[in-house]
């Protein structure tokens, strides 16, 4: 975003309702350019208006009948990105200011999201259209939302040969430093000494050591909020090796940890009145002669023994140890984010993360926080009738069933065994990936449920005091 561009193009964001009045006030040239219904303020419609020299002097973006969300402006940004490099480099874009502060803030957020490109490994990089911050926008809030979401995208998009376990822990450490938070990590065999046996077991086959990262931030007098993330930097499936078509995307299996780091970024940037604890279980699920095996029985931090039925159900193992740790500190609210099961995708597809809670009364407020903020989420039940399917003849619990039914619920029920029943708990089984790519949301690493939870947290604890 730039302060001194050579030329400025004004941007009008128009609904179907506001468009006719806006058009009435325009000169004959604009009216001619917009004749024949080329632009009517419909959602996603975009128009570039030119002066007599053919230079672009204004841009229009339609919102139809919908409320303004960050995504509202993204179709326009996508069109601008396809303009000539010279035009993009020399121009600043400035909103016509008739919208509310919140709407302006949303548009700024969307502009930042739409400008995102994962081009770290590309030789040729292209410029992005620069926005001149509107007075009415809350710049701090917009920056926080842009940075948090782009952090998630970058982390998920970065391949596992680069974002290995040490690197992911390093990113968490950098974030802690940015906000002057306490940081601690427990690495490799130390996980056994400190009683995180399941994180160790899952990650021990990789030369990149497993680790548990902990960040603590905020005033001790505030209610404690714990975030737990699945940080499997690559999931081969282990000895229960994934077939190629399922393994290809598994660099994104640390998406849950990207979500909690992004959410933590938002909470700390906007200084929410909570005492925040972030726990990230980091491991690479690899194949090696020392890999954990189907049939193994392993111990857990909580004291439950776990029979390994499937080494590909590794996420619930690493996360369960972190959940047990979080519960020892008695949080007011515990939230975990995991790319836990393919079954959640069978149930709800790519766009909608499944979430679960041990408090039925929290389901609607969380669903509403998502649906009302362009971040759809939907609840599934922790149906305890299915618990018995995880009975093991030789251990306290098995990490999979042979039933092949309700896999996302099974994942949730497994984690529930490690949750202290007195703690309010929410579990997200998310995809962390945009499958198709759409305006403001390029194909690749993506937030799925993060903003829903931020809005829920903000309504539960209030904004910064
Ligand atoms: N990381 C996967 C889950 C996953 C797969 C998420 C594909 C998104 C897309 C997880 O570790 C896994 O492999 N889960 C198994 C569990 C099963 C063995 C009980 C699954 O879903 O097949
Ligand atoms: Zn797996
Ligand atoms: Zn996994």
The answer to whether the CB of 201 is under 6 A from ligand 1 is no
275: annotated active-site residue: no
Residue nearest to atom 22 of ligand 1 (CA): 342
451: annotated active-site residue: no
Which residues are found with C-beta within 5 Å of the ion, ligand 3?
232, 235, 253, 315
**Interval between CA 311 and ligand 3 midpoint (Å):** 9
Residue 437: how many CB atoms within 10 A of its CB? 11
**Interval between CA 445 and ligand 2 midpoint (Å):** 18
Per-residue pLDDT of the chain (465 residues; tens, 9 = 90+): 445 778 999 999 999 999 999 999 999 999 999 987 789 999 999 999 999 888 999 999 999 999 999 999 999 999 999 999 999 999 999 999 889 999 999 999 999 999 999 999 999 999 999 999 999 999 999 999 999 999 999 999 999 999 999 999 999 999 999 999 999 999 999 999 999 999 999 999 999 999 999 999 999 999 999 999 999 999 999 999 999 999 999 999 999 999 999 999 999 999 999 999 999 999 999 999 999 999 999 999 999 999 999 999 999 999 999 999 999 999 999 999 999 999 999 999 999 999 999 999 999 999 999 999 999 999 999 999 999 999 999 999 999 987 789 999 999 999 999 999 999 999 999 999 999 999 999 999 999 999 999 999 999 999 986
Burial class (CB in 10 A: 0-12, 13-18, 19+), 427: buried
126 conformational bin, left if phi > 0, alpha if psi -120 to 50, beta if neither:
beta
461: DSSP letter:
H
**Interval between CA 423 and ligand 1 midpoint (Å):** 26
The answer to whether the CB of 310 is under 6 A from ligand 1 is yes
Q: Helix, strand, coil: what percent of the chain each, to 5?
A: 35, 20, 40
Residue nearest to atom 5 of ligand 1 (CA): 342
Closest atom of ligand 1 to 400 CA is 19
Which fold does the domain 7-137 belong to in CATH? Answer: 3.40.220
The answer to whether the CB of 314 is under 6 A from ligand 1 is yes
389: DSSP letter:
G
> 424 CB contacts (<8 Å, ≥6 apart)?
332, 333, 334, 357, 358, 359, 362
Domain boundaries, the chain: 7-137, 143-461
**Interval between CA 233 and ligand 2 midpoint (Å):** 11
Look up the CATH architecture of domain 143-461. Answer: 3-Layer(aba) Sandwich (3.40)
pTM more than 0.95: yes
Closest atom of ligand 1 to 232 CA is 1
Residue tagged active-site, from 252, 316, 345, 460: 316
Kind plus residue range of the DSSP H or E element containing 414 = helix 407-416
Q: 315-328 and 407-416 are packed helices; what angle lies between their axes, rounded to 10 degrees?
A: 30
Cβ atoms of 144 and 270 within 8 Å: the answer is: yes
Residue nearest to atom 8 of ligand 1 (CA): 342
**Interval between CA 371 and ligand 2 midpoint (Å):** 29
> 107 CB contacts (<8 Å, ≥6 apart)?
13, 68, 70, 72, 73, 95, 99, 134, 137
């Amino acid at each position: 975003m730039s302060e001194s561009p050579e030329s400025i193009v004004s941007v009008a964001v128009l609904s179907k309702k506001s468009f006719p009045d806006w058009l009435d006030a325009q000169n004959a040239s604009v009216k001619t350019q917009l004749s024949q219904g080329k632009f009517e303020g419909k959602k996603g419609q975009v128009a570039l208006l030119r002066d007599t020299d053919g230079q672009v002097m204004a841009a229009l973006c339609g919102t139809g009948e919908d409320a303004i969300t960050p995504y509202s402006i993204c179709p326009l940004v996508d069109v601008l990105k396809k303009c000539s490099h010279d035009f993009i480099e020399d121009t600043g874009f400035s909103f016509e200011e008739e919208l509310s502060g919140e709407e302006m803030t949303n548009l700024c957020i969307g502009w930042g999201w739409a400008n995102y490109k994962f081009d770290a490994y590309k030789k040729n990089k292209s410029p992005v259209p620069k926005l001149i911050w509107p007075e009415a926008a809350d710049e701090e809030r917009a920056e926080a939302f842009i940075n948090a979401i782009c952090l998630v995208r970058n982390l998920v998009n970065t391949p596992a040969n680069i974002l290995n376990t040490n690197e992911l822990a390093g990113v968490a450490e950098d974030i802690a430093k940015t906000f002057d938070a306490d940081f601690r990590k427990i690495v490799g065999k130390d996980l056994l000494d400190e009683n995180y046996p399941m994180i160790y077991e899952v990650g021990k086959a990789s030369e990149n050591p497993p680790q548990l990262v902990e960040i603590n931030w905020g005033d001790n007098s505030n209610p404690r909020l714990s975030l737990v993330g699945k940080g499997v930097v690559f999931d081969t499936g282990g000895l229960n090796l994934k077939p190629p078509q399922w393994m290809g995307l598994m660099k994104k299996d640390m998406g849950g940890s990207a979500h909690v780091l992004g959410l933590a970024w938002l909470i700390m940037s906007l200084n929410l009145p909570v005492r925040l604890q972030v726990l990230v279980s980091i491991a690479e699920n690899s194949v090696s002669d020392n890999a954990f095996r189907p049939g193994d029985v392993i111990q857990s931090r909580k004291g439950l023994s776990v029979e390994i039925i499937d080494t590909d159900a590794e996420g619930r193992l690493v996360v369960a140890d972190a959940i047990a740790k979080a519960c020892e500190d008695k949080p007011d609210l515990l939230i975990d984010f995991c790319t836990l099961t393919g079954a959640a995708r069978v149930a709800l597809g790519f766009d909608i993360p499944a979430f679960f809670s041990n408090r039925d009364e929290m389901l609607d407020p969380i669903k509403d926080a998502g649906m009302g903020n362009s971040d759809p989420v939907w609840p599934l039940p922790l149906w305890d009738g299915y618990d018995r399917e995880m009975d093991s003849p030789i251990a306290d619990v098995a990490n999979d069933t042979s039933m092949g039914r309700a896999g996302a619920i099974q994942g949730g029920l497994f984690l529930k065994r490690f949750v202290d029943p007195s703690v309010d708990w929410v579990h997200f089984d998310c995809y962390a990936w945009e499958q198709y790519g759409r305006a403001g949301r390029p194909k690749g690493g993506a937030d799925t449920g993060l903003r829903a939870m931020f809005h829920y947290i903000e309504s539960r604890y209030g904004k910064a005091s």
